[in-house]
Amino acid sequence: MTLENNYDIKSLTTPAATGGTVTTSGNYRIHTFTSSGTFTVNKAMNVEYLVVAGGGGGGEGTGGGGGAGGMLTGANFPVTSQAYPITVGTGGSGGPSMTNGGNSTFSTITAIGGGNGEGFPSYNGGSGGGGRWGQVGGTGISGQGNRGGNGNSYRSGGGGGAGSAGGDAGSTSGNGGAGLSSSISGSPVTYAGGGGGGADSFRGQAAGTGTDGGGNGGYAAWGTNATGIGCGGGGGANNGSYYGGNGSAGIVIIRDLSSEDVTATGMIITPSEASCRTGICTIDVSVTWTNNGLSTSSFVPSITASSGTVSTHPSQNLAAGASVTLPFTVSGMIAGTCSICPNPN
């Protein structure tokens, strides 16, 4: 019978939080949500976050560029042991019914979807959609994005971005506003750029260009879809027979320190392997857990065995830097090919 003491330490870690697509960078664990889900926290701690809403759709005809979804970032945000629903906003439609982007949420944080470039029901959003001919661009939300560009007699404005306002129409339609860069994922990525405004082919005017992933405005063609993460929609196409491009979906990224984990740091098994080679055995297991974090952690200590019945313990509150050693019993273990190890929570 084998009683494993040479366990993989990675399998002994109770993660401070789970949810999303999990990657690591240095001492950080990164939870990325590109669709709605749940962020489950196993202890009280502080996290960093990026929340980007969906971008607005571009307007049709001589419509304006779609506004970028609102973008919010923060650090030292307190979370407690519970499940947090995550909503990732969808991109707005560029036609035939123009819509704003969807909101993205994490806990008390809500990023507002970008305004569409048609003005139905409104150009306003996290960043404003560009104004169509003769229309003022939509307003953005302070701290989330910027206004859309204004249209003029024959040209439309670009959608606003998280980093700057959409371009006003001049001799050409306006370009999309710039996005903002974040390195929360472990490398710099630019989010939430605006879409370019559409142009009128009969007057030979150029369409606006999308910025930082926002779609380009159309010129005798459809506006293109946004390609960036959480970016504004494509700009409006020209003449009523063409639609604007769609906005892209948002994103939510949450980052925590891997040092916040509770780790199994020791295990003693009795009787020894030599005294339990055949038949059915009762095994006593002693496991020590240590809280590597900077605050009290709540976790459920448990072990797994390849056979037999394992005793249980209730949830534990372990102070920062403290350790606890707990006994377990595995009854009815079948000798021969058995293993025991602490179980991740």
Whole-structure pTM value: 0.84
Please state the separation of Cα 16 from the chain's center in Å.
Answer: 17
**Residue whose pair of structure tokens reads 């025991």 in the numeric block:** 340
Q: In terms of C-beta density within 10 A (0-12 exposed, 13-18 middle, 19 or more buried), how is residue 109 classed?
A: middle
Q: What per-residue confidence (pLDDT) applies to 10?
A: 45
Q: What per-residue confidence (pLDDT) applies to 202?
A: 67
CB atoms within 10 A of CB 240: 10
Give me the domains of the chain, ranges plus CATH numbers: 9-15+261-342 (2.60.40), 17-258 (no CATH)
**pLDDT below 50 — which residues of the chain?**
1-11, 274, 344-345
- Segment 269-327, tens digit of pLDDT: 877 554 555 567 788 888 888 888 777 877 788 887 777 888 998 988 888 889 999 99
Q: What per-residue confidence (pLDDT) applies to 275?
A: 52
Distance CA 156, CA 268 (A): 73
